Amino acid sequence: QSVLTQPPSASGTPGQRVIISCSGSSSNIGSNPVNWYQQLPGTAPRLLIYTNNQRPSGVPDRFSGSKSGTSASLAISGLQSEDETDYYCAAWDGSLSGVVFGGGTTLTVL
């Protein structure tokens, strides 16, 4: 059972916009920034979004992040087949004094 809650799966068709949610509490998302990671099969995760809505260099602007209260979202617009993979959210939890992850969302491009 992960501290942050993500839907286990999401799907969309090419060109569509998909949103992946990440729900937490006041001790994590509610009071700390959220990061998002993308993990292609058999590879290490890579940072996709940091501090709620910032993109590292090299990440396409099709990817965007937002946060409101104790929830965060990752939006992927102009969906492409290469986006079909796993996504994780993470945040510092002040009560646990540690980083907590969501369980991950597997995105399928139909």
46 binds other proteins (CB under 8 A): yes
> What are the residues whose beta carbons fall under 8 Å from the beta carbon of 62, sequence distance 6 or more?
76, 77, 78, 80
Q: Which two tokens stand for residue 27?
A: 């001790």
Q: Which stretch binds other proteins (CB under 8 A): 10-18, 21-29, 76-84, 90-98?
A: 90-98
* Radius of gyration of the chain, Cα coordinates, nearest whole angstrom: 13
Number of residues that bind other proteins (CB under 8 A): 22
- The 3-state DSSP class for residue 14 equals coil
Of these, 37, 63, 73, 74, which contacts other proteins (CB under 8 A)? 37
Closest distance to other proteins from the beta carbon of 30 (Å)? 18
> By rule CB under 8 A, what string of x and - marks binding of each residue 54-83 to other proteins?
--x---------------------------
Q: Which of 24, 23, 6, 13 is nearest to 86 (CA)?
A: 6
